[in-house]
Structure 1
Amino acid sequence: MEEFDLQSLLSSNEKMLIHLLQSYAQTNDVAVFVLGNDDHLQTGIFGELSEGSTLTKMNKMTDLSKLSVNKYKYKIEYADAPIRIATINQRVGKVCVAQDVENGSGSDHVNAMQRLQTQVTYLKYLIENVSKLIIGNRGLDNFIVKYAMDVDEAIGDLKDSEGEALQQIKGMSTSNESIISAIEFIDSNLDKRLTLDQVSNKVYLSDYYFSKLFKRETGLSFSVYLNARKIQKAMILLKESDKSVQDISDALGFTRLSYFSQTFKKYTGYAPTKYRTDDNN
């Protein structure tokens, strides 16, 4: 198992990228910072911040996943853009810019937002192009962290309760953009035989990191969530359509009817035919 080390990249070549971000922040009167895929700070928050600024206080925090949601509460305007490493075709984090908007009008926020969006787009391309040069010079292996398989984590995945998964996904909530995109992709492709590798590539994450992040954000492993959504769709089709069990199995990408029936019973406690005819469901 392996993961890209964004912090090492930012600090490499005598902190070239960090110095570039610091200089940009100071000369453009904005705050600049970089978050990992887990929305945790990878560097400090750069820029000249006013005394008592909310962003100054945030510099002591690590998890900034709620920043875009609470920007009006914090009296700031904010924009971000994903950072992708072309060599491995993966998203490794995002660059963010923010600015205090003290008691500003709606037009002040709109003007600030447009300006910050232009700036963050520039910083995204700056980081990605400089990163390409650094990685080409030093080699990709210098920025890849390899992990041994976590046995406890693997056992934890096996303990996922299929019987509780259908209830759990009803109240599921996450603010992580990568996981939101992954869920939208899964839900739009329930007829496909999706794999962890396919979905992680879709959101530009390594399969190892995506698996960990998905479990942390949703409380379910990727495979349990995928099957739960398929079974949820199957329940609707069994009750509201005249399709045969075989047709429903095929429509949801199951390779064998026997496997579909076995999975359906794990999640619902019923065989598909029994569920269809039972008036109590």
Structure 2
Amino acid sequence: MEEFDLKSLLSSNEKMLIHLLQAYARTNGIAIFILGNDDHLQTGIFGKLKKTNQLMQMDQVADLSKLSVNKYKYDLEYADAPLRIVLINQRIGKVCVAKDVQHIGIEHLQVMQQLQYQAAYLKFLIESVSKLIVKDRGVDDFVIKYSMNVDDAIDDLKENEGKALQQIKIMSTSNSSIISAIEYIDSNLDKRLTLDQVSSKVYLSDYYFSKLFKRETGLSFSVYLNARKIQKAMILLKESDKSINDISESLGFTRLSYFSQTFKKYTGYAPTKYRTDGNKQ
């Protein structure tokens, strides 16, 4: 498993990117900071904010993924833009810009629009400089390779498929990458999706995506995917005349036996029994 080392990139070439961000923040009277895919700060906050210390402390115990929702709590306006490394086609984090505000009104709206423009510009600047740095030094200089974590593997084995259907009903996340991944999964339940396919759609490495998905949803990718397929199968069994084999194929299962086995794991019923009992209700 591999992870792109954003901190290493930011501090490379005598901290070129950090100096650029510091200068831009100072010149434009804003604060700039970089978050990784886990929504934690990768460096300090460049520029000044009245609540800088509070934000730094908050990052130590949680993350800043909900900053856009809680921005008024910190008396600031905020915007961000995703950062990607084109050479490996991955999202590595996001650049965030913020500014202290006092009153909500026309001036406040102008600040918000200006920050959105600045976030887009900084995204272009960072990605352009990063492309040159990575091309010059080679992408291997910025990739951390991990061996399989035994504890993670055991956690996945312990995961209870029988509770997954209840879990997805109350699941919520504000992480834009996971929201996009869930939308893609839900629109492609008829396909045989893999972790690699979905992670590439949201420009994350499979390692990052797997960890982030579990953290945000409480379920591993494979359990969520199967839970959504079984949830749809339950509806089709109750509300359509399709054969169980047709339902299995329409949800990307290659073997009817595997569909039946998976259905029973998640619901406690065989598909035929579920259809019969469901139609009696």
For the criterion TM > 0.5, the same-fold answer is yes
1:86-235 counterparts in 2 under 5 A? Answer: 86-102=86-102, 104-235=103-234
- Is residue 243 of structure 1 aligned with residue 237 of structure 2? no
2:211 maps to a residue whose letter is K
Report the more deviating stretch, 1-10 or 270-279. Answer: 270-279
Alignment check: 8 A CA contact 1:179 1:217 kept = yes
How many Å apart are 1:56 and its aligned residue?
4.1
**RMSD (CA atoms):** 1.1
SS at match of 1:43: coil
What CA deviation, in whole Å up to 9, does each residue of 1:143-187 have, x standing for no partner?
A: 000111111111111111111111111111111111111111111
Which structure shows the higher helix fraction? 2
How many Å apart are 1:106 and its aligned residue?
2.4
2:77 maps to a residue whose letter is E
SS at match of 2:70: coil
* Percentage of matched positions with identical amino acids: 77
- Is residue 270 of structure 1 aligned with residue 279 of structure 2? no
- Structure 1: distance between partners of 2:146 and 2:104: 50
What CA deviation, in whole Å up to 9, does each residue of 1:33-82 have, x standing for no partner?
A: 00001110001111133xxx123421333221111001123221111000
- Structure 1: distance between partners of 2:86 and 2:98: 26
Structure 1 match to 2:82: 82
2:78 maps to a residue whose letter is Y
Give the TM-score of the pair, scaled to structure 1: 0.96
- Structure 2: distance between partners of 1:70 and 1:209: 25
How many Å apart are 1:105 and its aligned residue?
2.8
What CA deviation, in whole Å up to 9, does each residue of 1:200-234 have, x standing for no partner?
A: 00000011111111111111110000000000000
- Structure 2: distance between partners of 1:233 and 1:41: 39
1:59 maps to a residue whose letter is M
1:18-57 counterparts in 2 under 5 A? Answer: 18-49=18-49, 53-57=50-54
- Structure 1: distance between partners of 2:241 and 2:252: 18
What CA deviation, in whole Å up to 9, does each residue of 1:238-278 have, x standing for no partner?
A: 00111111111111111111111111011111110100001
What CA deviation, in whole Å up to 9, does each residue of 1:68-121 have, x standing for no partner?
A: 00112322111100000001000000000000111x132222111110011111
Q: Say how many residue pairs are matched.
A: 277
2:130 maps to a residue whose letter is S
SS at match of 1:83: strand
1:11 maps to a residue whose letter is S
- Structure 1: distance between partners of 2:91 and 2:242: 41
2:35 maps to a residue whose letter is L
How many Å apart are 1:142 and its aligned residue?
0.7
Name stretches of at least 5 consecutive residues in structure 2 with no aligned partner: none
